[in-house]
Amino acid sequence: MADRTMTRREWLLSDAPQSRRQARLGAAYQGWRTFRRNKLAMLGLIILVLLVLTAIFAPWISPQNPYAQNLANRLQPPSGANWLGTDALGRDILSRLIWGSRTTLFIVGTVALVAPIIGLFIGTVAGFAGGWVDQVLMRVTDIFLAFPKLILALAFVAALGPGIGNAVLALALTSWPPYARLARAETLTIRRADFIAAARLQGAGRTRLLIGHIWPLCLSSMIVRVALDMAGIILSAAGLGFLGLGAQPPLAEWGAMISDGRNYILDFWWVAAMPGLAIFVVSLAFNLLGDGLRDVLDPKGAKE
Amino acid sequence: MEPPQGGQPPSALPPAGMTPPGRGHSSAMRRRLVKIGGIVLSLVLTLLGLLVVTFVIGRVMPIDPVLKVVGERATQAQYEAAYQALGLDRPLWEQFLRYVGDVLRGDFGRSISTGHPVADDLRRVFPATIELATLGTLIGVCVGVPLGVIAAAKRGSWIDQVARVVALVGYSMPIFWLGLMGLLIFYGILGWVGGPGRQGIIYDGMVPNVTGMILLDSALARDWGAFRDAFSHIILPACLLGYFSLAYISRMTRSFMLEQLSAEYITTARVKGLSETRVIWGHALRNIAVPLITVIALSFGSLLEGSVLTEIIFSWPGIGQYITNAMLAGDMNAVLGGTVLIGACFVGLNLLSDLLYRFLDPRAG
């Protein structure tokens, strides 16, 4: 065992880890140190932590009831009473933004977890196996990719009834094909590499090659893609809301709020502008975080 | 034409160094034919799959197509007659075969909301979308590729920072919101660009319709007033789409370039004394050409469908607006026709990028 005189930090940064666990934790700690140096990524992380806290504590921190209408007080500009103004029904925009963060987090969390996993699996298996497996999987991918995302989402929503759950389902079902194609393209360029042949000569089976050698190399481009897509998912969901197909009123959803403000854009700009800014800030935070993660997780890009 | 890439079948996994040498002209020819046959077959299968999905969506939709035809107050007998006339009493596979046959003949049925055959509607609206997406992609490629290359070559410099901010903002901005704000600022306040729509009222219908793309048509007719008018209308939505396309393209270009620049052949080229310009633009850029083409094709496809929100904001009479309006009106023929068209374009673009990948990158086999 490591001797007790070591500080925890020294233990983590040790050049000669005594165990697999120490090596892994050490690598994670090194990664965190790299990540921490990236100020923008930290900013993104902080914004997202704040967003999560906002969503959790929405009932306590929102200054007013997000659903309380007050027609005498409609379309008021930002002021002391309503920091971000009021909308066409006299509802406090800030409160609606705070409650809307719950909707946004739910959508992003679900879709960004499901889609890349499906894509990575299908893409690498197709690229690595080749032959008819490749053909079949890529045809299926193409068919899904051939579907315009928004249109499929529209169709889904029309078939299942509008709502946030169906919007999530539609987004997840339409988001995985790009991951699959990307993973396959990466696999095609590395599957003939010498180190794969070497591993095979050592007796590694297909599954082992796939999981131990191909997946880690695909991961870097996957993460860039997820980083880019996290924001994209928010934007797609907001787009659905904007078209009136996502969250239904009176539920607060940022895209639908922009749609509400669209008719008043020339005279009452804040109604549409504020939710747009909220979407922008959160997407930006996801992108910043993704960039920082890439520097940590992509050894090819970070090496220089 | 590229010479054939060795003789390996593209799909199988031959152990390295075990590929059989080409056995003369005829077998190479035959392999190529088999390859082309395979590609054609896969194209057909993909399109068929697309039709299966649209067919299923059309059947699953809770909108009753019969009611759309006969109206709410039809008698039972009228309803039954229309039900049979639409072929809904036949088994599903027969309905599907009939649907495929119709689509192959270019018959997507009649649109309930416009009253025209869907095929005619699509012919009318599609050029508007193509025009917008092409201009957007052009802007994206012309600005995005150089920006990404320079950002990678001068990593950490101010231009890298600028490229980063440009891409980050582009990736974080809701397109419909930016469109609204752009319309508010450049049209509402500054008055620099034309408003929503493709043309001002004065020029509407003044240019003979040849390609359906107003910029091209007015240039062909040498009507420069109409050209300037159309340009002032298209420039804001095209820049908007172009901005989103360039954000993606520049970021991917930079990522690909960084990977290449850390490769050993770059060091070799530098050691040989090649100028930095040649190393970057001659060696590294050439090696990322293939993945870059895939990115550009995908980005064009995404602009094609991503123009839905843009078209709605700018009242652009393209396929996105057509499909959305049809969907909200429950006009399934129009929706499915439009979906099949966009889907076919997507399949074509994917196939193209796949073919280019195989022909241009020997590593992909």
Sign of CA dihedral A19, A20, A24, A30: positive
Cα–Cα distance for residue pair A76/A165, rounded to 1 Å: 33
Chain B residues lying within 8 Å of A243, measured CB to CB: 309, 312, 324
**CB-CB neighbours of B23 under 10 Å:** 10
Phi, psi for residue A86 in degrees, rounded to 5: -125, 160
Chain A residues lying within 8 Å of B304, measured CB to CB: 148
- Residue B147 binned pLDDT confidence (cut-offs 50, 70, 90): very high
From A145, A266, A273, residue closest to B188, measured CB to CB:
A266
0.90 exceeded by pTM: no
Amino acid at site B100: V
Cα–Cα distance for residue pair B297/A181, rounded to 1 Å: 13
Contact of A262 with chain B, judged by CB distance below 8 Å, is answered with: yes
Amino acid at site A140: V
Q: Which of B171, B251, B310 to mutate to test the interface with A (most CBs of A within 10 A)?
A: B171
Residue by residue, DSSP assigns A128-169 as: HH-HHHHHHHHHHHHHHHTS-HHHHHHHHHHHH-SSHHHHHH
Cα–Cα distance for residue pair B84/B80, rounded to 1 Å: 6
Residue B317 preceded by cis peptide, ω within 30: no
Cα–Cα distance for residue pair A89/A71, rounded to 1 Å: 6
Interface predicted TM-score of the whole assembly (ipTM), two decimals: 0.72
Helices then strands (H, E): number in chain A?
A: 14, 0
Mean pLDDT of B21-26: 53
Chain A residues lying within 8 Å of B294, measured CB to CB: 181, 185
Angle between helix A270-297 and helix B175-182 axes, rounded to 10 deg: 130
Among B217-221, B320-324, B359-363, name the one with the lowest average pLDDT: B359-363
Q: What is the pLDDT of residues B271-316, one digit of tens each?
A: 888 888 888 888 888 888 888 888 888 888 888 777 778 888 888 8
- Residue A53 binned pLDDT confidence (cut-offs 50, 70, 90): very high
Q: What is the pLDDT of residues A245-303, one digit of tens each?
A: 777 877 888 888 888 888 887 778 888 888 999 999 998 998 888 878 777 765 554 43
Identify the CA nearest to B147 among candidates B311, B285, B337: B285
The per-residue pLDDT for A4 is 58
Q: How much of chain B exceeds pLDDT 90, in percent? A: 7
Identify the CA nearest to B224 among candidates B215, B233, B213, B236: B215
Contact of A221 with chain B, judged by CB distance below 8 Å, is answered with: yes
Q: What is the pLDDT of residues A93-147, one digit of tens each?
A: 888 889 989 888 888 888 887 888 888 889 988 988 888 888 888 878 877 776 6
Q: What is the pLDDT of residues B242-281, one digit of tens each?
A: 998 998 899 889 988 888 888 888 888 888 888 888 888 8
**Which alpha helices (H) appear in chain B, and where do they start and end?**
25-60, 65-70, 76-85, 92-104, 118-153, 158-172, 175-182, 214-220, 224-261, 264-271, 276-277, 285-313, 319-328, 332-360
Q: What is the pLDDT of residues A174-232, one digit of tens each?
A: 888 888 988 898 888 888 888 888 888 888 888 888 888 888 888 777 776 777 678 88
CA of A220 to nearest chain B CA: how many angstroms apart?
Answer: 10
CA of B334 to nearest chain A CA: how many angstroms apart?
Answer: 12
The per-residue pLDDT for B68 is 66
Whole-angstrom distance between the N-terminal and C-terminal Cα of chain B?
A: 16
CA B296-A255-A89 angle, 5° bins? 160
Cα–Cα distance for residue pair A55/A108, rounded to 1 Å: 13
Q: Give the domains, in start order, of chain B with CATH numbers.
A: 33-104 (no CATH), 119-364 (1.10.3720.10)
